[in-house]
Structure 1
Amino acid sequence: MWGVKFYTSMNPAWIAPAAAEAHRLGLHVHGHVPAGMRPLDAVRAGYDEITHINFIMMQAMPQDVVNKANTAARLEGPARYGKDVDLDSPAMTAFYAELGKRGTVIDPTLTVWEPLMTSDGSGLSPEYAPFADVAPPAVVRGWKIGGYPLFGGLTRDDFRKSFAKMVGLVGRLHRAGVPIVAGTDGYGLELVRELELYQQAGLTNAQALQTATIVPARLAGMADRTGSIAPGKSADIILVQGNTENDITTLRKLHTVFLKGYRLDAAALRTASGIRGMPH
């Protein structure tokens, strides 16, 4: 699948004609929401997908935050006001319903926001903590983050409450039938934590797993050959130690990888990449 990605600096007046031309060319339209637009404006103008949960939260932000979404306001607005958003208000419920009716895809990347909003610098954020004892020390040092600087009299607890609303927002989108795809904006190690957060949002383990498998495969027009285990599909499979139906964190405990039909030993792959053992 080919697509075009728009960013916050794009003139809102350009979105509808640009999206129309992209669709004429068979391109998928996605990205950040331009400053001055709310996510529903972008969807009505032609977006097929919105990336990052903060831009979904922009639907409930004050207009001055929306107008400056091409600045730090795209983070600071949701951090300041997110905790007070009523996720079940009639306006927000109608918003979810329209996204679901349109089939708009959302890529939340919650693992981008969790360390920024919840970390106080006392330890590794949850997406990296399972690798703390097995990854190279230099890599672990690079994972340490103190969170986004506090501002405007807000506390870290305020930020954490706003992040909790972001997690809750994902659950409401899912219940409204909005397709969720799992992304990280990171190394890839963060993916399992992303799925854990979807579980916290109310998805079952199977539903969370589908956000990283069959749902994106459908989005990319590749569901006939990947995204699930079935005869005739690509032999891209992982075997893990444990039952992901009961514990989704077992996805970190890789035993064997099958890639394009070739069997790869996960322990050997970990050793080759500098990982000294199984993540916790």
Structure 2
Amino acid sequence: MGVLDGKTALVTGGGRGIGRAVSERLARDGALVAVHYGNNEAAALETVAAIEAAGGRAFALRAELGVPGDAEALWAAYEAHPLSTPGVDVLVNNAGSATFADIEATDEEAYDRAHAVNAKAPFFIIKHGLARLRDGGRIINVTGTPDIALPAILATITAKGAVNALTVSLAAQLAPRGITVNSVGPGIVETDLNAALLADPAVRAHAASRSVFHRLGTTGEVAGAVAFLASPDSGWVTGQHLPVTGGLQLSLL
């Protein structure tokens, strides 16, 4: 039996990269997983198929994030699916986008877009999901590493930092319902989204050197941290940010 048997999880951006690894891990732990996607239906359906082939249960749902009414559309799509359950036990806000620009190159449109996807969407997905989230449930926000300088994606990091702050305040508000709220900050993780960049041996070597293990992280390692926070074992952990970075910048060795 899995630790999440009988539970339902919703993972935004659940069809690719870290989101896919999280979806597959939660399904392996026994949860029925709603795999959200924005545009890449094929990837989401592939993730659902992989879960089902492994003996798990999952379904895909679409809602574009970063646009007006996105949270309501997501929950409407969830409720319209015949496999959905009346309540959700685990909500993983994983979907996001990166705006590559320093402060001088960031205009208001780019800033607003970064915050619409990375900060506003999780805020309102949670807001409109509170009535659906069961008492004793879990909210896990996949954000970033707030103590590392990343000026090249400044608007995105600002938005991710907002969700880290949201995590702490929500943990206090939702404690009476037994709902825990935590965030996870992945380090440099190898995914299909950055495969082209990491194909450059020099870039790959530099990225690997940032970890004390001198390698890149895997999506499965991030999913393992999310799975812990989704499990009954994490019931005494709330309002915390968990860096899953392989000791990023702990030393210069």
TM-score by length of 2: 0.37
RCO comparison, higher one (Cα < 8 Å, 6+): 2
TM-score by length of 1: 0.35
Identify, as 1 or 2, the structure richer in strand.
2
